[in-house]
Structure 1
C-alpha cells in the first residue's frame, strides 16, 4: 500500500510538472490573450498576400488587429467618450473574409450618418465557429468588455447543433478554445497549441489542405470555357475522389455551363472566388452520398425538421441570453436566412437540385427555431424579413452576404441597437413581414 501510494503521488507530481513545463513553453508559441481564446489559428494578412490570385486586389487583403479579428484595434476597457458599447459575436458572416467592410463597421458607419459618434461596435466574428463557441466566447471574452449590448448572429446554414448546453456534461481532454476542456482548465496555452498543430478545430477538421488550391482553382476559371470542367474534374479526382471516374466528376461539375463560371470572370469588386470546399460539397451531395436526405419541396423539408436539434440549438442561444442578462447587458439575437432568399442565388444553383435542397431543409429549421425561441420568451430579429426576394444580397458561390446584403442587415441591426441605447423596446414583426 505504501509503495502504491508513493508511486501514485510521484506520478501525479511528475504529470503536474510535465504539464506545467509544457504550458510554460507553449505560452511562448501562442498569441496573447484574448487572441488565443478567440480563434484556433493565427489570423495573418501576410498569408493572404502570398495568394497570387489576390495580387491585383489589395483591398481584399483583410486587416487583423492584435486580437486576431477583422476590426480596428480595441481595448478591454471602454475608451473615453464611448457612451454605448456593443459587441458582435458570430462566424464568417461577421468576419467577412471576402468583403471590404464587415457588418460591425457598416453599423458604425450607419450610426455616424445619423449623428451618433459615441457608440462602439466591436467585431468578435470568427469563421468556422457555431453556437457552442459563441456561448463560450461571450462568457470568456465578450463579458469582460463590459458592453451595454450584445449581438449574436446565427446563420441557418451551419449553426444548428445536435447537443444541448448542459452544466453537467464532462468536457473532453482537449477542445477548441474557448470551449472548456480538462487540459484547458489547467494549461490553456498548451490546449490551444495542441488544437492548432493537430488541426482539431472546426476550421481544421472541415478544410482539406491542398497546396496552392485557391490559386489553382481560380486559374482554371481563366482557361478556355471548354476546358474548365475537365480541369476541375482532374483536380478533384487527384486530391478528393481518386476512386471516382473523371467522367462522373466532369458531369457534375459541368452542369452549370458558362453561368457557373460567370462570377469568377468578373473584373470589378463583385468578382467571386472559387474555393476548394464548395465543389467538394456539391460533388458529395450530387454524386457520392445519394442516401443523404434531400427534400425537393418545402413540405418535405418541414417533415425533416428534427425537434431534438431545434431544442439543442435553442438551448445555446437561450444560454447566451442568460449570460448577458446576468450582467445587465441587453441581448439581441439575429437569425440569418439561407442564401436561397436571394432569387439570383436560387437561379444559379438550379442544375444541382440535391445540393440546393439543403436550403429548403435549413429554411424549415430556421422557421421552427424562431417559433421555439418565441415560445420560450426570446424574440430574435428575423433577417429574412429584410432580405427575402432582394436580388444580389448573397454571393452566389459561398452564400455569404454581398456588400448590398450587409448594408441591408446593417440598417436593421443599427436601428435595433439604437432602440436599445435609447431604452426603447424593439418593435416585433410577424413572420413574413
Structure 2
C-alpha cells in the first residue's frame, strides 16, 4: 500500500516538474564576435532541429531552426525547415508566413522548392492554428529592412580576411570553397536583402575576391558576373590583390568598359522610350503580364508617308530574347525586321514615313528564345495580318 502510494507520488511529482520544462522556450545563445563560433552554434542548433523533427517534437524543432536564423538570418534551408516544423506542429499562420518568404527569393535552390511550397500553401490556406501562437525564440528579420544584419556583415568581414590570405598563396580551389560557403548564407535573402549585404564594404570585397578566384581557375563567365555585380554598386572599386597579373587587370578593365557601355545603351534606350511616348507614338507600358503569349493590336490610322508604329508585349514565361516583325510589302519577298525591346515586356518597331507608300502590307510577329527557337507567334506566314493604304 505504502509502495503504491510512493510510486503514485513520484509519478505526480514527475509530471509536475517535467510539464513546465517542456513549456519553457529553448535557450538560444547570443551572437558572438567570432564568426567561426557563430557558425558552429548555428550548425549545432540545425542538427538539433533535425533531431527534434525526427522525434516529432515539432515545437523544439521550430525553436531550434529559429535559433539557426538568429546566427544565419538568410539560411534558406533553415527557413524551409522552420516552415515545415510550424506546419507539422499545426501553427499554420507561421508556416504560411515562412513559406511565403521563400516565394520571394530568386535563388536557384529556392526555385526548386517553390512548386511544392505553392501546393502546400493551397492546402493550408484557410486552416486555423491548432495550437496557440507564441512569440518566436528569435525575432524574424523584417523583409523590408534597410541595412544588412550585423551578424551577416561580421561573417562577411571575417570571410574576407581568410579568403584574402588564401588567395595570396594562390590556393584557388580552397578560396572558391570558402567563397561559396559564405555567399550561400544569402540563399534565403530576397533580391533587395542580398543587394544590401553585397553592397557593404565586406560584400564588395567578397565579390571582388570571387571574381579573382574564378578568373584564376579559368571560369571567365563567373568572374565576369562577380565583377559586374561589384560595378553595379561600386564602379570605382579596385582589385583587392597585391601585384595582380596583366591578364587579370586587362580582363577587369574590359569588363568595366563593357559595363559602362551597357549603362550608356540603357540611357539611350530610356531617352528613346521617353521621346516616343512624348510624341504619342507609343503609350505608357501597361503593368503585368499580357493575357496571351503575344499581345498586339495592328496600327490604326495609317497615312501615306507617316511613321507606322508596331507595338507588342510578350509573356514573361516565354523567355523571349528576340521578337521580329516579318513583312511582305505588296508582292515582294518576306523580310524580317527585329523589334526593339523598349520596356519590361514591350517590343517596338517604327517604320519611317518614307517606307509607308505600299498598296498592301502583310505581316506577322514571331518571338524566339536565346537559342533561336520559336516560342510564340502572332498571326503566321499562312494567315498574316494585312494593312492597306
Instruction: Work out whether the TM-score is over 0.5.
Output: no
TM-score (norm 2): 0.25
Decide which structure has greater strand share. 2
TM-score (norm 1): 0.23
Larger radius of gyration: 2
